[in-house]
Amino acid sequence: MTIAPNRQFRPLPVPSVTVGGYWGDWQDAVSDHTAAILLDRCVAAGMLEQINPDVPSPGIVIPILHWLGTPQMFWDSDLGKSIETIAYSLYRKPNPELEARADAIIDMYEKLQDTDGYLSSFFQRIKPEWKWTNLRDFHELYCAGHMIEGAVAYYQATGKRKFLDVMSRMADYCVRKFGRGPGQVRGYCGHEEIELALVKLARVTGKQAYMDLAKFFVDERGQQPNFFIEEAIAQNRDPKGVQKNTLEYNQSHLPVREQTKVVGHAVRAMYLYSAMADLATEYNDDSLTAALETLWDDLTQKQMYITGGIGPAEANEGFTDYYDLPNDTAYAETCASVGLVFWASRMLGRGPQRLYADTMEQALYNGAITGLSTDGQTFFYDNPLESTGKHHRWTWHPCPCCPPNIARLVTSLGSYIYAVADDEIAVHLYAESEARVELANGAKFTLTQNTNYPWSGDINIAIEPETPARFAVSLRIPAWAHGARLAVNGKPQDVAAAGADGYVRIEREWNRGDTIALDLPLEPRLLRAHPAVRHDAGRVAVMRGPLVYCLEGTDNGKGLNSILLQHGLGKAQAATIPNLRGAIAIDLPVLRENARDWGDALYSDKAPHTEAEQARLVPYHLWDNREPGEMLVWLRER
Amino acid sequence: MTIAPNRQFRPLPVPSVTVGGYWGDWQDAVSDHTAAILLDRCVAAGMLEQINPDVPSPGIVIPILHWLGTPQMFWDSDLGKSIETIAYSLYRKPNPELEARADAIIDMYEKLQDTDGYLSSFFQRIKPEWKWTNLRDFHELYCAGHMIEGAVAYYQATGKRKFLDVMSRMADYCVRKFGRGPGQVRGYCGHEEIELALVKLARVTGKQAYMDLAKFFVDERGQQPNFFIEEAIAQNRDPKGVQKNTLEYNQSHLPVREQTKVVGHAVRAMYLYSAMADLATEYNDDSLTAALETLWDDLTQKQMYITGGIGPAEANEGFTDYYDLPNDTAYAETCASVGLVFWASRMLGRGPQRLYADTMEQALYNGAITGLSTDGQTFFYDNPLESTGKHHRWTWHPCPCCPPNIARLVTSLGSYIYAVADDEIAVHLYAESEARVELANGAKFTLTQNTNYPWSGDINIAIEPETPARFAVSLRIPAWAHGARLAVNGKPQDVAAAGADGYVRIEREWNRGDTIALDLPLEPRLLRAHPAVRHDAGRVAVMRGPLVYCLEGTDNGKGLNSILLQHGLGKAQAATIPNLRGAIAIDLPVLRENARDWGDALYSDKAPHTEAEQARLVPYHLWDNREPGEMLVWLRER
């Protein structure tokens, strides 16, 4: 890859895009259910007692067998993400009751904030003596980051400045506290998050100091002497850390520009790389982009599930060895794939590039949205690619990071579909939507996508400028879309003219009534894994467009590993799945081994009896939304 | 299966059998190294400070991150098993120094014993207030069981009665304490062990009360009201137990005769069933035998690795669901397979039956002995059937149950080869050995096996009676030994005449110079798993005689899952492995996938390039004795 040119693409703000169709259904589920559920369950966990300065501190509870119900240092982050979700959901469906509940929480935070701007409920109300004693483990800046993101979203959604002002004061406090000047702390957070939040805050407030603080945190990370080692020594803690908490765990083992391998806790890594990509765009920083390109290849060529799931191991919630991608024990946390969507979208800041957009789509549709049930009421934390029928969605989790993370992504999806530069709009995702755009060159227009994507590959785009205007529309041609066809105002265009970046760039004067018709063939296709992935040896995965497919027990009975694909997908047929939002299934003939004539023996020199059968594959992200049962992504191939 | 007839076969005592050849090498490794290592490491762990009444009690150390180095309630069991190993090893090689060290430990125990006979160092020296407060969790009777086994062995080996007398006094104490009479405790141990130990003690002392106490413990187990629930309520503990400690965990969920499914902690289950089998023999108890036959089928037809490894899960060190046999995460504790050998050998108490003897051999050669390195100095605790190269033998473990367990099995192996009834000797295992036998019918003879088994299937047996004598010799014809040939004094015998029990019974008057020649063909064979075992789908295992084979990285490089067996074993060739005790390897042509022309992609619609190659399979139980690397039992089959 080559370093991107000095162009700056930024996402359209969430309010500028109205989403319908497939993603509209998801947004409805979040607006109608998830948004309130998030608050309900944060309240049930006792979070308000921690942040409300008008009630006695609950104090700390020593957990005996589990940590459910005891105040947590990361609770502010859950409230921050919940408020962010509520804010975005208010665009879609005004909800005065939910807005009032969010306002009340914001009032508590305003009252709780110290006069110097400091705000972190755990360290103000539960353990004041721990304040700023352990940046590595205590999530203090991480929480501030999520609160900042919530504040930005809430301001954009409601126009109310209170939360934004509160968090700006906390950011101002951090600008004073952290830096290379005398008396300042030359440190950064063990769980990256505040960096990308400060970029958002800088963009919405226009205040450069926030952007510079984000850059400071990123630039300082992993420099020698290592801050976390120095801090541990100063606090009389073991500088080597304990158990999983190595320097690699939080990506502080090397300066970020020298990092070449994706390591450690997966969510932390994604948030760091997201901030690095934002800063690469904002500062036109080629050294950051070069490091990110290396890390991108490392992740996507050696450490990523076909679902865009990442971080195979529960032990460190993160990365292990190259090509170590177990299916049934995959951790592949929902938050990590959400983080990959964040990172990929920000890699598009320096210009369209389908390498990133294709993977963003892959992670969005398979690794991330899988974490939410279609009714918006239950969640996956980890996302295995094979289940014996014991893995199910849950209603809540003692570490409730995933539900608000996927919910805020869903409700802000509009900002991932499009990105704009001075004289160009890039269409990164295909989705029923209407975008209201004003470019820096003055062009002002509405862009409407009419499509039943991802079930259909027919995409009709209408462009309605207020007055005729010259600008470019760049359309991603996914790498899998062999035989894609394109027409502008009915006139066929050469898709092969797509650049090395995989986008067709249509630059012209646009007039009212102009249309673009794009047809992306959604033929099912077979994928195999690199021969070094032992877990997928002799197996294939089926994809259709951006979607990974799987076998479910409810369609195919028990023993999914007895199913053998014998003749590829030649006879595959698409069918609509009843009661699953118009989702498309793939039916195809297979062989099935059974125990007929096998007898009682556990081991035998016989080969199992096989019979011809019809199998049904369904989109992986919709599994466990019907009757519970087994699930399998990687099918055996004869 | 049918209930066995009222015949009673008992193992030959360890001193009656001298072992050479293959097992002689293992016994040398234990005598020369393991026996002393066991004591060294028990001493290094601080066990002597716990049992020595002449030094201050070390007290209890609250473990922070791990429990290494703090007194354990199960330490007496480790010393008991170590003394048992030392005792047996003294038959093979007298070792005055090691014997003196064992004597010193026995002296400490004698001095520690209370006047009423009670002996349990943890509850005498560390936590006296916990004595008899928690039979479910505290291993109090379990430790007594292992000490009794050690005492029996030490008496048999050295003729010294001291330890036997000490443990007889403890057994007398238990006879008084436990029972259905007034003031007696109607309980049993959460970790079965003392039951089978009491059978051994009864056999060597002739004291029926010990046998009856074993029967009491077995008969009471799981009766209503459940003792462990009653005990917990009486001690103000949660009667439901915590986490893994369910009633199934220790097989107390049902009366033993009503149990039909093998559940819970694997070692506990094996020790229980071993005692049940002993009692079935001693009391001619068909109701116990019937239950055991059901449990046997349940284990071997639905829950056993092809290695004879059992208990797939680390979480409960035990059983999970039917056909749940993951290879790379297999727990399959060495102790559990040792326990399966114990159980299988005792199932032979009611007469020869190759169903049990074949599995005993399978577990012995693959599940159990794998736990010991050929030099007798390092150990496996868990025994996966696939390794990415990170699983290696260790020198010790905070729960050091496995090293002495496999060591005592190796050194007492002679007693598993043969069993005798009044007028019959059954040859259950083939191994270079000399047995000195006196039957109840007066026949007195030496039976010598000359064989290089398991590397060769040629077995020559010489029978030398003092005077001509009539008795039967029963020879197992393993189920896998198709085409076995047999001759008595050179005259071919009809192997097909083997009974339903799979044994050829040769009853005649034996004279000096009589010989039996048995040829068991050791052709490599392919095995497949029941179609319900998802982990082995599309894969085959290779066996030769009783041995499971595997691929190792040192012979076959990295990426063993890229190897494909294409044409069965038609072209397989046997070869001797250098420097591995004359072990036989199997070399065969395979296909190998590689990444040539694959490119950088992690997922692709290509098929991997394949090349013809020669692969080498080696006996599974010898893996990780040469250069470390990957290992794989279940090979892919095209």
The whole-angstrom distance between residue B377's C-alpha and the CA centroid of its chain comes to 19
Q: What is the pLDDT of residue B60?
A: 62
Q: Tell me which residue has tokens 């010489």.
A: B462
The CB-based long-range contact list for B434-442 (8 Å cut-off, 24+ gap) reads: B434/B17, B434/B18, B434/B20, B435/B12, B435/B16, B435/B17, B436/B16, B436/B17, B437/B12, B437/B16, B439/B471, B441/B469, B441/B470, B441/B471, B442/B469
| Cβ(B406)–Cβ(B372) below 8 Å | yes
- CA A95 – CA A39 distance, rounded (Å): 14
The whole-angstrom distance between residue A326's C-alpha and the CA centroid of its chain comes to 21
Burial (CB count within 10 angstroms: exposed 0-12, middle 13-18, buried 19+), residue B625: buried
| B602 contacts A300? CB cut-off 8 A | yes
- Is A42 one of the annotated active-site residues of the chain? no
CB-CB neighbours of B378 under 10 Å: 20
**Per the residue annotation, which of B42, B174, B335, B401 is the catalytic one?**
B401
Task: Say yes or no: A608 contacts chain B, CB-CB below 8 A.
Answer: yes
- CA A113 – CA B437 distance, rounded (Å): 89
For residue B30, give both structure tokens: 């234990």
pLDDT at residue B313 is higher than 90: yes
Q: Tell me which residue has tokens 């894609």.
A: A484
- Is A174 one of the annotated active-site residues of the chain? no
Q: How far is A558 from chain B (nearest CA, A)?
A: 9
For residue A79, give both structure tokens: 């409230």
| Cβ(B143)–Cβ(B127) below 8 Å | no
| B604 contacts A528? CB cut-off 8 A | yes
pLDDT interval class at B4 (50, 70, 90): very low
| B603 contacts A541? CB cut-off 8 A | yes
Task: Say yes or no: B301 contacts chain A, CB-CB below 8 A.
Answer: yes
3-class secondary structure, B127: coil
**Per the residue annotation, which of A143, A189, A401, A402 is the catalytic one?**
A401
Chain A residues 494-553 with a CB less than 8 Å from chain B: 525-534, 537-538, 541
| A559 contacts B595? CB cut-off 8 A | no
Percent helix, percent strand, percent coil in chain A, to nearest 5: 40, 20, 40
| A602 contacts B530? CB cut-off 8 A | yes
Name the percent of chain B lying above pLDDT 70. Answer: 96
pLDDT at residue B1 is higher than 50: no
- Give B336-377 pLDDT, tens digit per residue: 999 999 999 999 999 999 999 999 999 999 999 999 999 999
- CA A141 – CA A189 distance, rounded (Å): 6
| Cβ(B629)–Cβ(B553) below 8 Å | yes
For residue A442, give both structure tokens: 């003055």
- CA A365 – CA A363 distance, rounded (Å): 6
Out of B321, B329, B530, whose CB is closest to A598?
Answer: B530
| B324 contacts A537? CB cut-off 8 A | no
Tell me the sheet residues that pair with B541.
B527
The whole-angstrom distance between residue B2's C-alpha and the CA centroid of its chain comes to 26
| A605 contacts B526? CB cut-off 8 A | yes
DSSP A123: I
Q: What is the pLDDT of residue A1?
A: 36
Out of B243, B538, B593, whose CB is closest to A531?
Answer: B593
Residue-by-residue DSSP string for A272-301: HHHHHHHHHHHTT-HHHHHHHHHHHHHHHH
- Give B433-492 pLDDT, tens digit per residue: 999 999 999 999 999 999 999 999 999 999 999 999 999 999 999 999 999 999 999 999
Closest CA to A213 of A225, A222, A204, A201: A201
Q: Determine how β-strand A635-637 pairs with β-strand A563-565.
A: parallel
What contacts A584, CB < 8 A, 6 or more positions away? A455, A544, A574, A575, A576, A577, A619
Q: What is the pLDDT of residue A324?
A: 97
| Cβ(A271)–Cβ(A336) below 8 Å | no
Q: Which residues of B touch A526 (CB under 8 A)?
A: 605
| Cβ(A145)–Cβ(A78) below 8 Å | no
Cα distances (Å, whole numbers) of residue B38 to A41, A383, B102, B284? 54, 44, 11, 38
pLDDT at residue B541 is higher than 70: yes
Task: Say yes or no: A302 contacts chain B, CB-CB below 8 A.
Answer: yes
pLDDT interval class at B37 (50, 70, 90): very high
**Per the residue annotation, which of B84, B192, B317, B333 is the catalytic one?**
B317
Q: What is the pLDDT of residue B248?
A: 95
Task: Say yes or no: A234 contacts chain B, CB-CB below 8 A.
Answer: no
Q: How far is A10 from chain B (nearest CA, A)?
A: 29
| B324 contacts A65? CB cut-off 8 A | no
Full-model pTM: 0.93
3-class secondary structure, A628: coil
> Which domains does chain B show, CATH number per domain?
10-417 (1.50.10), 422-519 (2.60.40.1180), 525-637 (no CATH)
| Cβ(A499)–Cβ(A476) below 8 Å | no
* Nearest chain A residue to B592, by CA: A531
Average pLDDT over residues B46-74: 73
Q: Which residues of B touch A300 (CB under 8 A)?
A: 602
Task: Say yes or no: B603 contacts chain A, CB-CB below 8 A.
Answer: yes
pLDDT interval class at B525 (50, 70, 90): very high
| A301 contacts B603? CB cut-off 8 A | no
Containing A380, the helix (H) or strand (E) segment is none
| A527 contacts B603? CB cut-off 8 A | yes
CA atoms within 13 A on the CB side of B621: 31
* Nearest chain A residue to B535, by CA: A561
| A65 contacts B602? CB cut-off 8 A | no
| Cβ(A636)–Cβ(A542) below 8 Å | no
Q: Which residues of A touch B562 (CB under 8 A)?
A: 531-532, 534, 537
Task: Say yes or no: A293 contacts chain B, CB-CB below 8 A.
Answer: no
Q: Tell me which residue has tokens 């039943």.
A: A452
Ranges of residues in chain A with a pLDDT under 50 are: 1-4, 62-68, 243
What single letter denotes the amino acid at residue B250? N
Containing B200, the helix (H) or strand (E) segment is helix B194-205
- CA B324 – CA B408 distance, rounded (Å): 30
Q: Average per-residue pLDDT in chain B?
A: 94
Q: Which residues of B touch A297 (CB under 8 A)?
A: 600
For residue A485, give both structure tokens: 């066809």
- CA A337 – CA A468 distance, rounded (Å): 40
Out of A304, A321, A531, whose CB is closest to B559?
Answer: A531
Chain B residues 9-68 with a CB less than 8 Å from chain A: 65
| B324 contacts A329? CB cut-off 8 A | no
pLDDT at residue B62 is higher than 60: no
Task: Say yes or no: B483 contacts chain A, CB-CB below 8 A.
Answer: no
Q: What is the pLDDT of residue A244?
A: 58
- Give B136-181 pLDDT, tens digit per residue: 999 999 999 999 999 999 999 999 999 999 999 999 999 999 999 9
ipTM for this model = 0.95
Task: Say yes or no: A297 contacts chain B, CB-CB below 8 A.
Answer: yes
Out of A531, A604, A636, whose CB is closest to B562?
Answer: A531
Q: How far is A567 from chain B (nearest CA, A)?
A: 14
